[in-house]
Every structure is written in structure tokens, then in C-alpha cells.
Structure 1
Amino acid sequence: MSRLTVPSPDDVPDDAKGILDTIGRQFGFVPNMFTTLASNPTVLDVVMTLQNTLSRVLDAKTRHTIALAVSQANDCDYCLAMHTYVSSELGGMSSDDIDLARAGGSTDPRRAAVARFAQQVVESRGQVSDADLAAVRDAGYTDAQILAIVTVAVQVLLTNFINNVNQTDVDIPAVNPAATTV
């Protein structure tokens, strides 16, 4: 059961209703995470603005790979379910590639390097080694792209933390635990 207040549809603040309507059109329903965020419209706006802005920094499959890898490393059940759903239903990722991303890998060597690096960012709290940076650079990523990878990872951590604190009720298909290494 969620530990933070989840407003009923009648209690959603007016300045959050439009955002929730947009989310509802995108998913066909409003996921619990967003309804919870609606209790503070400014926080909802920050999360949505960040997600929308970061949709321009890397291709969708790479962003999905980061989201899955980070959510797995951070043990966020809600975000794993959400990102698995989005990656599969909206992002065109296969179930094998979703499982690999959660484990820090990918069928694509470049995305595998991103998944491993994103998990290292989480596990080391940003204190990655020179070897970690070299590995992602060797996969062909520039320093500007590495900044984008870290920023997407931190954006995912934001929602992981919110959902872990809240213990948000999973209202999308739950996922099975994946291995944490490839």
C-alpha cells in the first residue's frame, strides 16, 4: 500500500489535472506514480519536464536501457514494471533485450556498455572508475553523450527514490526478478 497521499480524482489539484489527462491519453490510464505526484503539482511538473527534455538527449532504446538498468540496480519494483511496460509496448524492445538491460547488458554492444556504465553510476554513487569511463568511451560514446547517460540515470533515480519511499502500488504488469549480471 502506498505510504504517501494519493489524491482521489476529485482531489487532484487543478494545475495537475491537465498533466494527468495527457499521461492518461499516452498510456490509456494514469499510472499510480503520476497520481501520487499530482498531490504536489510542482513536483509533477518537474518530473514531466525533466522526462520530456531528456527524451531529446539519446535515442529511445538507449534511454529505455538506462532506465531498466538503473531501476534494477536500485531495486525499484514499480519502476521496473513501468519501464518494462514502456520499453516493450511503446519502445519496441524485445523481452530478451529488456532482461539483458536489467542485468546490465544488451544485444547491442553499444547499449550493453551504456547499461553497465549506468549501473556503475548507481552502485558507485557516481564515483565511477577510469576503467568504467574508458569502457563507455570505447563503445563509441563522446563525453557529451556520457553527460547525457549520467543525467538520464539520475532522472531515473529520482523516480526510483520517490517510488521506493512511497512503496507505490504497482498498477501495471509486474515483472519477474532478473539476474543482475550478464
Structure 2
Amino acid sequence: MPNAPISRFPVPDPKAWPDDIRARILEVQEKAGFVPNVFLTLAHRPDEFRAFFAYHVALMLKEGGLTKGEREMIVVATSAVNQCLYCVVAHGAILRIYEKNALLADQVAVNYRKADITGRQKAMLQFALKVCSSSGDIGDADFAMLREHGFSDEDAWDIAAITAFFGLSNRMANVISMRPNDEFYSMGRVPKQG
């Protein structure tokens, strides 16, 4: 629906953005060619904007045993379980780009067990979905299963932290009715116009 609101809460006028948030948003716009709506909607609460993106960077851009694509797989699979349209669409686009695979995000969102991914990645998503849906049941056997697939305990922490962080993100995106940018739908599917 053209011109549909991107949030049920007010989206601040760019003139009202604090300087650090303005700089962050302009940097993202320069890199992506547009401003993802998550930046615009979270600017409604500057302190939470800062905390959210600081933790996002700490989880999603760090070095470790998970690739950037695998981190995005976790987001897409768990966001689908949480019925978060924004995160499935936005992170699905990022997943398609990282993995250079136009089909993968849809496969992971619908049923990772049938997706064209490795057994290791399926084990990772099995653990993530258990964290997502029944974290109280996580036990030694779950860590042992991850170790059998080459994951360290620190990797398990990363899988759980990404799942938990995006659980918060999914719930807030749903509550505020955050709309995915139209640009996300074609990213990684259609060659960039140059």
C-alpha cells in the first residue's frame, strides 16, 4: 500500500534527530541508498535507538565462529517463528546478498530443514529455534549437538544472543507495526541497477 505509515508511533522529523543519530542514519543511507525503516521508527526513542544499534553491531558484525550469512539465517528463521514481517523481509534481503543466493531466505523462513544449507547450519538453526520457542528446555545435549557440528560454546552463546536480541526486535516491530521498506523485497533477487 503506497504511502502506508511505517509505524503506529510517531516518526520524528529529521530536523529533530540528535546529531549522533542523524550521522548514523545518513551513514546508513549513503551505504544502502535508502534509510531502513527500523532507523526511522527507533529514532522515536533516542536512548533506545543507541542501545539497540550498539548491541546489534556487537552481535552481528563481530568476528567468531559464525559467518555474517549464518547470523542472518538465525534472524530469518527465528523472526519467521515470531511472525515478524519486518525482520523476515529486511534480514532475508541481507541473507540473500551475503550468501549470493536468491532462494535461500525464503527457504530458511518457511522450513530450514528443507533449505539448501549444510547440516552444520541446520544444527545451528535447530538450536536457535529451541532458544526462540523453549529456552527453558536447553540443556547439555543441545550443546553437545552443536559441538558435534563444530560449534564452540562461544558460538552457542552467539546463536542464543542473536535469537534473544531479535526476539525483542520482532516483538517491538510487531507492536509498532513497523513496515518493511519496499526496497528490501527485490534486494538480492534482482541485479542492482547501475
What TM-score comes out, normalization by structure 2 length?
Answer: 0.80
Partner of 1:178: none
Kindly indicate whether the alpha-carbon contact (under 8 Å) linking 1:20 and 1:30 is maintained by their aligned counterparts in 2.
Answer: yes
Residue 71 of structure 1 deviates from its aligned partner by: 0.7
- Distance in 2 (CA, whole Å) between partners of 1:87 and 1:22 is 21
Contact 2:93 2:105 in 1 (8 A): no
Structure showing greater radius of gyration is 2
1:150: which partner in 2? 160
From 11, 31, 40, give the equivalent of 1:35. 40
Which residue of structure 2 aligns with residue 73 of structure 1? Answer: 81
User: Which has the higher mean CA deviation after the structures are superposed, 50-59 or 139-148?
Assistant: 50-59
User: Which of 148, 164, 176 pairs up with 1:166?
Assistant: 176
Q: State the secondary structure of the residue aligned to 1:132.
A: helix
Matched positions, count: 174
Aligned to 1:121: 131
Q: Take 2:30 and 2:42, find their aligned partners in 1: how far apart are those partners?
A: 17
Q: Which residue does the alignment assign to 1:101?
A: 108
Corresponding residue number in structure 2 for 1:110? 120
Q: Deviations over 1:19-64 (max 9, x none)?
A: 1112212221111111011122221111221121221143111101
Over 3 Å counting, the alpha-carbon distance change for 1:63 and 1:115 in structure 2 is same
Give the gaps of 5 or more residues in structure 2.
Answer: 187-194
Corresponding residue of 1:62: 70
- The answer to whether the aligner puts 1:6 opposite 2:16 as a matched pair is no
Residues 109-118 or 9-18, more deviating: 9-18
Partner of 1:179: none
| Distance in structure 1 (CA, Å) of the matches to 2:135 and 2:39 | 26
Q: Which runs of 5+ in 1 are unaligned?
A: 176-182
Shift of 1:129: 4.7
State which of 87, 92, 103 in structure 2 corresponds to 1:84: 92
**What's the offset of the Cα at 1:85?**
1.2
- In the alignment, does 2:139 pair up with 1:138? no
Structure 1 residue 14, shift from structure 2 partner: 3.0
- TM-score, normalization by structure 1: 0.85
Q: Do the aligned residues in 2 keep the contact of 1:13 with 1:39 (CA within 8 Å)?
A: no
| 8 A contact 1:71–1:80 mirrored in 2 | yes
Runs of 4 or more off by more than 4 Å in structure 1? none
- Match in the other structure for 2:191: none
The Cα RMSD (Å) is: 2.0
Q: CA contact under 8 A between 1:3 and 1:166: conserved in structure 2?
A: yes
